[in-house]
Structure 1
Amino acid sequence: MSAQTKINEALLKDDLYQAVNGAWLKTAVIPADKAATGGFYELDQNIEKTLMHDFDAWLENKNLPADRPTQEFVKYYQLAADFAKRDQDGFAPAKKYLDRVLDLKDLADWQAQWTDLNLEKFDAPFGFYVQPDMKNTSQYALYAYPAGLFLPDKTYYEDGNEQGQALLAVLQKMLHELFLKAGYDEEFTQKTITQALAYDKLIAPFQKDSTQRADYVKSYNKYSFDDFKAVAENFDLGAVVTELLNATPDQVIVTEPNYFANLDQFVSPDHFEAMKSWIFVKTLMSTTAFLSDDIRILGGTFSRALSGSKEAMKAKKAAYHLASDQFSQVVGLYYAHKYFGPTAKADVKQMVEKMVAVYKKRLANNDWLSEETAKKAIVKLDALGINVGYPDELDPLYTKFVVDEQLNLLDNAVNFTKVATKDNLERFGKEVDRTRWEMPAHMVNAYYDPSFNIIVFPAAILQAPFYSLDQTASENYGGIGAVMAHEISHAFDNNGAQFDEYGNLNNWWTEADLKHFQELAQQMIAEFDGLKTEAGTVNGKLVVSENIADAGGLSCALEAAKGEKDCDLRAFFISWARIWCMKSSLERQKLLLAVDVHAPHTLRANVQPKNLDDFYTAFDVHENDGMWLPKEKRVHIW
């Protein structure tokens, strides 16, 4: 998408998004193997092409870097790209994993094998992971969480949800074809699929929906170990945990208490056969990406129905993604060092620090925060960590991945899963490592981590249309500047604001300030709730945290842009609208409306500028214009 896309001047007062992006949208074509295209996606596709080109030489053992993690990545990529061998093997590599599920005799047998099954990430109705204790982020703690469903969210199972019924039909058809291709007879196929889908529907009502999960502070529910063990009578939760950790924890943090309070209703002798069928189907689906090309394509049918992608990726591209996802930080460091480098890293970090300084000034001059709360907010901002481009060192986990070239692709993947799972569990009780990055450097994205109180900007997003030396300062502030300030704002959204400067869940607000902040958050919910898109209506509560961050980010970036000597407000807002340019399938839009905490891209581009007085000045917007919002309805938080 060119930054020089023609602007429709006549539309600027009525629809900023269409005025800036309409000409591009008319001709843009979504790649057949993608669900969307636009600013983020075109960058991602360019990186994909660049890295695949670079790695082609490595596959032929040309110019191969000497470091071991990169060499192991190439070995794995070679296995993934060897479709002659994969096609020859067919379903055979998956059979031993499927047989292991079929051989489970009863609940006691499943419990006896639970640790080994968990290490290989066989699905179960519940699971565990180790991450920082949200109230003491210097230490790792054990969390318990519910199973993932076949459908994206429990609401898809509700009566009258036509989308859920349509997706279930696609899933059933795909599974039927996979079972037969794997050599299972019709009777076993029908029985297993029916039981698996019934079990998924059985556990769904006990889970939170996406809106409830968006309030992630409520996922912190600390149980003593004795209380946690007592939630189930049909099997020994305590034995499962102590064997898994090789230790006895004092506590377990439960993300969804209602789900665990009802475990005995669906993890029981009466439901064991249905549960086993559910595990079998989950296992089957998880293996298809590592098998023959026809199985890979068939196994992706359901995910393509969810996203609206018209075709599966070509074999070579699928192999690239499979291998680069497994070695993501290795690939990311290669990309960053070759295409970003230390000079750009330092330059962008200075820009982030400038945005932090602007944010600090805004907090100090805020007209609704008390002096006491404002001072604590600035303390949190002063402690904010800034990670730009790429980590200084490779995560040690990736040095543990060693390819066994005598084994097939799936067996190597399972071995890597064991290594990664053990690595996570071994953190339990240890001091937290705050240097770990959650995103690789070649990912076009950014994030704020409330438990570490850090913002992270991978190298891949630090280019046009977000940021470029060829763009004016106003354009850069409307792009990457707003993204930077968006991530800073997450420290003060409805979730992030509940964490202190150390990343601990800890209220630092006065009672009056917190009440007023919650009222402002409710205004943001109301501003978006019920807005119509071609895919349906917006759930304001689901998207409130990202909208608070968008509002804070845009207003803060605007102030920074106005501080430059040649500020161009038009260019600033046009740049903002341009970065949200996107064309996506209707299926993807429907999915995101149901589960994504971000507002639809058209609304991100159009609604937030309406809250800022400078927007009306820049484009001479008045009461009868489409972009007009009455002053009393404009939401201002940060």
Structure 2
Amino acid sequence: MDNSFTRANQATGGGNQPTNDSIDTALLKDDLYQAVNGRWEKTAKIPADHSSTGGFMDLNDNIDKQLMSDLDDIIASKKTYEGPFAEFLRLYELARNFKKRDADGANPVKPYLETIENLSDFNDLNSKLVNLVKSGYPLPIGFGVEPDMKNTKVNALFASAPGLFLPDRTYYENNNPAYQQLMPIFTKMVSQLLVLADYSSNEADEIVESAKKFDAAIAPHVKSAEEAADYSKMYNPMAFSDFAKSSSHFDLTGLADGLFGQAPKQVIVTEPKYYEALDSIANDETFNDMKNYLLVNLITSAAGYLSEEFRQTGSTFSRALSGRKEATPQKKSAFYLASGTFGQTIGDYYAKKYFGPKAKADVEHMVKNMIGVYEDRLRANTWLGKATRQKAILKLQKLELQVGYPDHIDELEYKFKINPENEGGTLFDNMTKIGQIALADNFAKLGKPVDRTRWEMSAATVNAYYEPFKNIIVFPAAILQAPFYSLKQTSSQNYGGIGAVIAHEISHAFDNNGSLFDEYGNLNNWWTKEDHEYFSKLADKMVKEFDGIPFAGGKVNGKLTVSENIADAGGLSCANEAAKSEGDYNLYDFFINWAKIWRMKATSQYKQLLLNIDVHAPAELRANVQVKNLDDFYSTFEVKPGDGMYLKPADRVKIW
């Protein structure tokens, strides 16, 4: 579930960009984004191994460079460390040793491929199913343990659907030209990977064509990104005994007994249509196609842990999808791999070295200020009934805050032990073992209390998020730097940056998804029927405001992006009001910095990808559309009818 401020986990930043921050004042009334960022965009260059560059991405990239430089010094010093940081360093060095990775070639993955090849039928598969799941094989059935959406104090069992070869179900529908463009690239890449793993060219081609049949059989039955964006449709509890009847081929009861000691009484099915169709997808007739589907998923996921030739080949499809010209450089790819595995460990190092208590105190002040603005607005709200309004205020008062970094590194990262190369360890084997440990750790949480203090994001990530299951907002240390926040910026600039981020995350508690959850994070309707109907009408206005806007050769999907757009609208509006409460407020500074944080230059392919799957609207539109809803924007820049940034008062969307 994605309630982050921007699309997470995208290694798309670029450093050393031009600093042409001059504003084209002639454009301010017609295109705020271009007025602030247009001159920068003309000279900015997207690095060859990136699909975009700009605000968020540059900050992330600069942090990565700083940390890699620090790691060089640490490794050169020969200083010894203990705990997760020592294991992080071992993994980083193992990932950087491409001489060893090249010498190992395909050998590390071959036993896993052979395990799949040797499966003879469903009886054989079921006899090995528990071990296959524990070992992380990419089966078309999946269990996970997460907080029960209606009782978030306790962890429950969820059943999810598998992913597709292409990014979204819509790629497979209505003769989508993107399918004709992208599937051949995927096909060629996987065939090449299989040849590298010592399959003949003919064998490789046959495996991929067979796997594609299975993938195509899955596609009609899984959710699109738009459908998955509706959290209310995720909660489909079933008696496990009924769920087990989804397949007459997979022994789902035996699997659950083997994983958990005994199958739980209930399972929450996030995609019931998929499991209703499971027997028609995976059966004796399609068994061979399913085996080949497993082979394809295994070799594509393994490529980044093998030789350089595997890594380069394995990134072909993602590069075509995002428009990156080159694969990530070796050293940086090793850093991403190690820091992605030990996210809290490296976040703890970054935050303790580079994050100051003064910034934390200042940001906490801004959060409290913003919550005060929100509470005042809720008390003055004219369209909510008294009972709903009181519950909304209660939810706001119960909202928890985490700033900077967690009090302790997640216990899971203490369990990761790296088998070094001098003891025969390979990168693939280590990463496979880590995946197994993480899976076992997740499964062990079934029925146990939820850890409400656990962070979902590294402190070294330039982002922020709201967690609806916990009613908590989190601001990692890395986002607390310019242009989002700086002690050197004016308060209005900071409110246009981190202030809007803070209020955006608060707003998620009251967007079309967050509003479904109560003050404890439980899926619980606390709205009267009349209030929710009115809110739905306002949400529909937000859908309409964005829906169909031309962008990157396509059109914005207003339904896909509605929750983030509601959060942006509430965030910007409340940050604007909070900025005005400070003695040195300057709304020109506020709106200019709001536009600046959305600075982004991207490849056309990456823009199109995000348009199809991202719950956030394009960055340029986030900058431009939301300000049109605020009366203060018009007075600040003297925007009048006929100007490009003008929107009739009747069309301005105001929710929170």
TM-score category (smaller protein): over 0.9
Q: Which residue of 1 aligns with 2:9?
A: none
Write the distance in 2 (CA, Å) between the matches of 1:176 and 1:228.
36
SS at match of 1:285: helix
Quick check: 1:279 aligned with 2:294? Answer: yes
- Partner of 1:505 in structure 2? 523
In 1, the alpha carbon distance for the partners of 2:150 and 2:289 equals 38
SS state at 2:108 partner: helix
1:538 aligns with 2:538: no
Residue 90 (structure 2) aligns with: 75
- Counterpart residue number, 1:97: 112
Does 2:218 match 1:200?
Answer: no
1:489 and 2:507 matched: yes
- Is the CA contact 1:308–1:585 (under 8 Å) kept in the aligned structure 2? yes
The equivalent residue for 1:224 is 239
User: Are residue 50 (structure 1) and residue 97 (structure 2) matched?
Assistant: no
Specify the alignment match of 2:38 in structure 1: 22
| Cα distance in structure 2, aligned partners of 1:159 and 1:627 | 35
1:62/1:454 CA distance change after superposition, 3 Å: same
Match of 1:261 among 265, 276, 300: 276
Contact conserved, 1:58 with 1:74, CA < 8 A, in 2?
A: no
Q: Secondary structure at the match of 2:93?
A: helix
Q: Which residue of 435, 442, 445 corresponds with 2:460?
A: 442
Q: Using the alignment, how far apart are the partners of 2:399 and 2:201 within structure 1?
A: 58
Of residues 351, 361, 368 in structure 1, which corresponds to 2:376? 361
Give the 5 Å matches for 1:448-527. 448-527=466-545
One-letter code of the match for 2:288?
E
Which of residues 580, 599, 602 in structure 2 aligns to 1:581?
A: 599
Q: Is contact 2:210-2:292 (8 Å) kept?
A: yes
Provide the secondary structure at the position in 1 that maps to 2:246. Answer: coil
Q: Do the aligned residues in 1 keep the contact of 2:400 with 2:473 (CA within 8 Å)?
A: yes
Contact 1:364 1:374 survives alignment (8 Å): yes
Separation in 1 of the partners of 2:187 and 2:38?
A: 39
How many pairs are equivalent? 637
Deviation at 1:160, TM superposition (A): 2.2
* Shift in Å, 1:346: 2.8
- The equivalent residue for 2:626 is 608
Query: Of the candidates 10, 13, 18, which is equivalent to residue 29 of structure 2?
Result: 13
CA positional deviation for 1:232: 1.7
For residue 572 of structure 2, the aligned residue among 549, 554, 572 is 554
The 3-state SS of whatever aligns with 1:45 is helix
Map of 2:13 onto structure 1: none
Contact 1:3 1:465 in 2 (8 A): no
CA contact (8 A) 2:20 2:39 kept: no
Query: Structure 2 CA distance, aligned partners of 1:439 and 1:236?
Result: 35
**What SS does the corresponding residue of 2:286 show, helix, strand or coil?**
helix
Q: Quick check: 1:119–1:418 contact (8 Å CA) kept in 2?
A: yes
In the alignment, is the contact (CA less than 8 A) between 2:565 and 2:616 conserved in 1? Answer: yes
Partner of 1:400: 415
TM-superposed CA distance for 1:400, in Å, is: 0.3
1:310 and 2:352 matched: no
Shift of 1:61: 4.8
Out of 329, 335, 345, the residue aligned to residue 320 of structure 1 is: 335
TM normalised by structure 1 equals 0.98
Query: Offset of 1:94 from its aligned partner?
Result: 1.1
CA distance in 1, matches of 2:19, 2:534: 40
Within the alignment, does 1:635 sit opposite 2:653 as a pair?
A: yes
Deviations 1:415-457 (A, max 9, x none): 1111100000000011111111100000111110000000011
Q: Contact 2:628–2:652 (CA<8 Å) still a contact in 1?
A: yes
Q: In the alignment, does 2:309 pair up with 1:294?
A: yes
Aligned-partner residue type, residue 497 of structure 1: S
Shift of 1:3: 7.9
CA drift at 1:148: 0.6
SS of the aligned residue for 1:60 comes to helix
Could you list the per-position Cα deviations for residues 365-408 of structure 1 after superposition, in whole angstroms to 9, with x for gaps in the alignment?
11211222111101000000101110011100011001112221
Q: CA deviation at 1:234?
A: 2.1
1:593 paired residue number: 611
Q: What SS does the aligned partner of 1:571 have?
A: helix
- Contact 2:87–2:417 (Cα < 8 Å) also in 1: yes
Query: Residues 52-106 of structure 1: CA distance to partner in whole angstroms, max 9, x if unpaired?
Result: 0011123335345x33110011111111111111111111111111111111111
Which residue of 258, 275, 279 corresponds with 1:243? 258
Mapping for residues 380-395 of structure 1, pairs under 5 Å: 380-395=395-410
Query: 2-side partners of 1:101 and 1:60: how far apart?
Result: 42
Give the conservation status (yes or no) of the 8 Å contact 2:18–2:44: no
Runs of 4+ in 1 over 2 A off after TM superposition: 1-4, 57-64, 341-347
Structure 1 position 153, deviation (Å): 0.5
CA distance in 2, matches of 1:416, 1:445: 25
CA RMSD between the two structures = 1.2
1:416 equivalent in structure 2:
434
- Partner Cα separation in structure 1 for residue 207 and residue 214 of structure 2: 11
Does the 8 Å CA contact 1:535/1:589 hold for their aligned counterparts?
A: no
Give the residue type in structure 2 aligned to 1:610.
Answer: K
**Cα shift at 1:336:** 0.5
Shift of 1:569: 1.0
Structure 1 contact 498–507 (Cα < 8 Å) conserved: yes
Q: Does the CA-based 8 Å contact 2:594-2:623 persist in structure 1?
A: yes
The answer to whether the 8 Å contact 1:499/1:505 transfers is yes
> Once the two structures are aligned, what percentage of the paired residues are identical?
53
Question: Which of residues 16, 31, 36 in structure 1 aligns to 2:52?
Answer: 36
**Could you say what secondary structure the match of 1:92 adopts?**
coil
SS in 1 for 2:285: helix
Unaligned runs of 5+ in 2: 1-16
Amino acid at match of 1:555: S
Contact 1:388/1:458 (8 A) holds in 2: yes
SS in 1 for 2:601: strand
Paired AA for residue 100 in structure 2 = K
TM superposition shift of 1:137: 0.4
Structure 1 segments unaligned to the other structure (5+ residues): none
AA in 1 matched with 2:41: L
SS state at 1:457 partner: strand
Kept after mapping to 2: 8 A contact 1:580/1:602? yes
Summarize deviations over 1:230-262 as a string: whole Å, max 9, x none: 222223211111211223201000001111011
Q: Shift of the alpha carbon at 1:343?
A: 3.6
State the distance in 1 between where 2:586 and 2:257 align: 61
TM-score (norm 2): 0.96
Cα gap change, 1:535 to 1:441, in 2 (>3 Å): farther
**What's the CA shift for 1:342?**
3.5
Maintained 8 Å contact 1:434/1:452:
yes
